[in-house]
Amino acid sequence: MNQQDILAPKDWSFPIPIAYGAGRLSEIGQKCSSLGISYPLIVTDRGSQDLPFIRELQNLLSTSGLRSGLFCEISPNPRDDEIGAGREFYKTKGHDAIIAIGGGSAMDGGKSICLTANNEISLWDFEFEKPTPQIPIDQRFPKLITIPTTAGTGAETESTAMVTDVAKGMKFCIWHPDLKPSLALLDPELTRGLPPHLTAWTGADAMTHAIEAYLVPGFEPLCDGLALESLALISQWLPVAVREPDNMAARSAMLVGSCLAGISFLKGLGLVHAISHMIGAEYNTQHGLTNAIILPVVLRFNTPGMDNKVKRMSDAMGLDDSSTKTFNLAVEKILNEIKIPTSLSAIGVPIDCAERIARKAMQDSAATTNPRLASLDELRELTEQAIKKAR
């Protein structure tokens, strides 16, 4: 792909309005005004609250004559009590919109607050498997702008969010079909300062999204096309972005690849996420890193007999050999190149949790769309493999 094409600013309208290109954050005041936003609440995570992009965003809004507030009490794995606190903050201060900026936790936190900010509906009534709540006309969701600062989660175009139920020690997906971001602003300059290890972890997260989404059964050509294009971009540019942090073509391609992967998994995900969600809920591990470690284990379980899909993924990655073994090894080679640990035990996950994690993972919505049905025993074995030696 031509690097000049990658670097050229673009405005896209699918699946929501997207402003893409280096330096586009400078337009945030104008974008807010055009949406009728006058007092947005900026939502980010605790780790991002002191980073330069927060001050830059606040200054840009102020220069445009707009007031803003800041809520940053969001954990790496957002909790239901934090969303409740954010909801009260929004209401008490009289905000009229939310700008979610940061990585996946900031996206999930901002979207979750948005779901509950203008109504009295319980957060868990928005759980994905439950009947969709009816939203009165006078309680419509606030306007939402999403600004990802990592090329990983791809959470910027939809309302879906993962939140930890503290009482249950489990993660659940919440959403509402009527909540759509009014704008996703993709500025690769915001990812330039990401350290190599976070570039690797978040980038591997995006690669996992693309692969798992594509392997989900069913005729979903829009999602499948986006997943393959995402995989083509990520497999080429992720090692470059880790190795050359200031390479703007790599940063730009990764941000787009992440976005495409995030759209593609509206189709569903798989056992990597089912296991990872529950490990993150219990041990507060970084989500992308956890996914990356588990991915090879689940690929070895899923890909046998999926020759046609493996061939198309191999073609997207530019592999000469489209065998299942070669594809799986190519994925592992990328993980090795970007220095992903080879086991969950290396990030503090103990072997004695495998049975418990497997039981919880069986209840995750991502387990239901995995291409191969897994028993509890098989899920426990996969979890144990990932803890001991994933690759």
Query: What integer pLDDT is reported at residue 2 of this predicted model?
Result: 81
DSSP string, 311-359: HHHHHHTT-S---HHHHHHHHHHHHHHTT--S-GGGGT--GGGHHHHHH
Query: What integer pLDDT is reported at residue 18 of this predicted model?
Result: 98
DSSP letter assigned to residue 27:
G
Domains (ranges, CATH) in the chain?
3-190 (3.40.50.1970), 195-388 (1.20.1090.10)
Joined tokens for residue 20: 């893409």
DSSP SS3 for 216:
coil
Q: Which of 366, 233, 217 is nearest to 291 (CA)?
A: 366
pLDDT tens profile 280-331: 999 999 999 999 999 999 999 999 999 999 999 999 999 999 999 999 999 9
Contact 349, 293 (CB under 8 A): no
Distance separating alpha carbons of residues 131 and 386, to the nearest angstrom: 34
Distance separating alpha carbons of residues 10 and 109, to the nearest angstrom: 27
Distance separating alpha carbons of residues 110 and 100, to the nearest angstrom: 5
Distance separating alpha carbons of residues 74 and 156, to the nearest angstrom: 17
Query: What integer pLDDT is reported at residue 380 of this predicted model?
Result: 98
Q: How far is CA 96 from CA 37, 111, 114, 229, in A?
A: 7, 14, 10, 36
Q: Which of 119, 194, 112 is nearest to 151 (CA)?
A: 194
Enumerate residue ranges in the chain where pLDDT < 50. none
Distance separating alpha carbons of residues 212 and 270, to the nearest angstrom: 6
Q: How far is CA 247 from CA 87, 152, 241, in A?
A: 38, 17, 6
| This model's pTM is above 0.85 | yes
Q: Which of 242, 82, 222, 108 is nearest to 175 (CA)?
A: 108
